[in-house]
Amino acid sequence: MSEIRTLAVSGTPGVGKTELCAALERSGLAVLSLRDLAETHDCLGAEDPDDGASPIDIHALADAWEFDGDTTTALDGHLSHLMDVDGIVLLRCAPPTLQQRLTDRGYDEGKIRSNVEWEMTSGHWSELNEFEVEIPILEVDTTSQSAEDVAAIVMAWLDDGCKGAPLEEAIRGAIDWLA
């Protein structure tokens, strides 16, 4: 990892982004929370009393934030793939497992359903395609892997120069829960 990189650690809520970022931090990477950045740059909306979420104005944040670190940094957040980063780690999780994780978190049925549907239909890949993202993307299935196992995969990818297929090819090879 001789080159400084910013990595979006993205994926549907419940796939293991924050656990992975903690493991990456133990491996020597710096970690920034997208929520904390949004708060710092006044891009965080008021908390929704129904679900406790605070919306992030991701476009304003993308305009306001510029990476100024001197070490490889992971950006933890389900919208982080929309930031100006050098690579994306896209975490995926089998929908039944994701449903259980979100249930265990106490999410309401509507929020569980919408997040499981997003995962099932590869919503992140749709956004990456829509915005024609042309940076390296590493997709990892976290369904049955520990955060440490996934961190080892990410660190190996970083050490190997973050190789990735062109976007259209990556999409064709992406995890397909509907197949």
What are the tens digits of pLDDT across the range 116-160?
999 999 999 999 999 999 999 999 999 999 999 999 999 999 999
CA distance 11 to 17: 7
- Which DSSP helix (H) or strand (E) runs through 98? helix 95-104
pLDDT of residue 50: 72
pLDDT of residue 3: 72
pLDDT of residue 1: 40
Instruction: Decide: helix, strand or coil at residue 91.
Output: strand
pLDDT of residue 159: 93
What is the phi/psi pair of residue 56, to 5°? -105, 130
What is the phi/psi pair of residue 43, to 5°? -120, 20
Burial class (CB in 10 A: 0-12, 13-18, 19+), 61: buried
pLDDT of residue 4: 65
First to last CA, the chain: 36
pLDDT of residue 43: 94
CB burial readout 126-139, b (16+ within 10 A) else e: eebeeeebebbbbb
CA distance 75 to 95: 24
Alpha helical stretches, state H, 11-94: 17-26, 34-40, 58-64
pLDDT of residue 2: 43
The owner of tokens 């780690």 is 89
CA distance 11 to 174: 13
What mean pLDDT is reported for the chain? Answer: 94
Can you give the pTM of this predicted structure? 0.94
